[in-house]
Amino acid sequence: MKKLKKDNPVRVAQNKHIMNSYHQILYHIVFCTHDRKNTIPTDQQEALYKYIWGVITKRKCVLYRINGMENHIHILSDLHPTVALADFIKEIKTASNLWMKETEMYPKFTSWAEGYCALTYAYRDKEMIVNYIKNQKEHHKKTTFEDEYKALLKEFGIEVDERYIF
């Protein structure tokens, strides 16, 4: 084995302290069923949410709240630093899609829509978003998913082309 000289950059780097990585990013994720059809029966939503919770936990991410309606889902989650957002959502949608078809509890479900909305919030806003997601059933007595989705995008200054929003 070759001996390293004192001024060798490899040795210098090995003696330096390494800083840990810290993060705190809350993602409010929204996605819907194909063509926004009501294919998630109310009495089966809890089972779906538990399954998705397992997918999220498996990726070492934290689920703060999940809820939705017959045609869409809201998730508030913190991602592990090694997990890319697009991969995270793809895994949730792919795994739950397969599971929903295998369990046969969702006979009208065909697939999730292609896109999604992912918004970031400060940690101090966590309880506000948790309550917003928790109250989806009440919220949707007054507004449609389409109007809710457009309002979220507008709130964040996201410009959309109405021809391609859904």
The pair of structure tokens assigned to 70 is 């017959």
Q: What is the pLDDT of residue 11?
A: 52
Q: How many residues does the chain have?
A: 166
Q: State the pLDDT at residue 10.
A: 52
Q: Which two tokens stand for residue 143?
A: 């507004």
Mean pLDDT by 10 residues, the chain (166 residues): 50 65 89 97 98 97 98 97 96 98 96 96 96 96 94 93 83
pTM of the model: 0.86
What pLDDT, on a 0 to 100 scale, did the predictor assign at position 4?
Answer: 45
Q: What are the extents of the domains in the chain? A: 21-155
> Does the 21-155 domain belong in CATH 3.30.70.1290?
yes
Q: What is the pLDDT of residue 5?
A: 46
Give the integer Cα–Cα distance in Å for 1 and 48.
Answer: 56
| Cβ neighbours of residue 143 closer than 8 Å, sequence gap 6 or more | 151
Tell me if 111 sits within 8 A of 34, measured CB to CB: yes
